[in-house]
Amino acid sequence: MIVVTTNEIPGQRVVKTIGMVRGLSVRSRSLAGNIGASIQILFGGNISVYTRLAEQARQEAFDNLIEHAEKKGANAIVAMRYDANEMASAVTEVLAYGTAVVIEEIR
C-alpha cells in the first residue's frame, strides 16, 4: 500500500478512484501516565509519556486507514491527512483519512 500526502504519485497513474477512507483511534491517558507526565512537566522539555501516546494513537489510526482502503480494493491512498481532537478530559481522538485509489505504473 502506497500512502502519500500529495494528490499524485510520481511514476503512477490513478486508474480508479474508490473514495474516502478513514482510520480512527480514541485514546485516554492513564493515571500513572498523567503522574509521570506531571513530573516531566516540572523539569520542562519533551513530555515522553504523551509523545508515546500520540505516536501510538497516530499509528493505530494509520493502520486502520490502510485496512479500510484494502477492504475497498485500493492499492494506494492519496491526499492522506491526520486530524486530532480532544473529546473529553484526557480522551483524544486521532483520525487518519485520505482518498483510496487504484494505481498502475506509467510505462
pTM given for the model: 0.82
CA-CA distance, 102 to 65, in Å (whole number)? 15
In angstroms, the CA 9 to CA 98 distance is 14
Question: What does DSSP say about strands 91-105 and 2-3: parallel, antiparallel, or unpaired?
Answer: unpaired
pLDDT of residue 96: 98
Given this model, what pLDDT does residue 34 score? 54
List, run by run, the mean pLDDT of 10-residue segments along the chain (107 residues): 97 98 85 54 64 89 98 98 85 94 96
2-28+60-105 has which fold?
Translation Initiation Factor IF3 (3.30.110)
Which three cell numbers mark 93? Answer: 481522538
At 43 the pLDDT is 60
Domain residue limits, the chain: 2-28+60-105
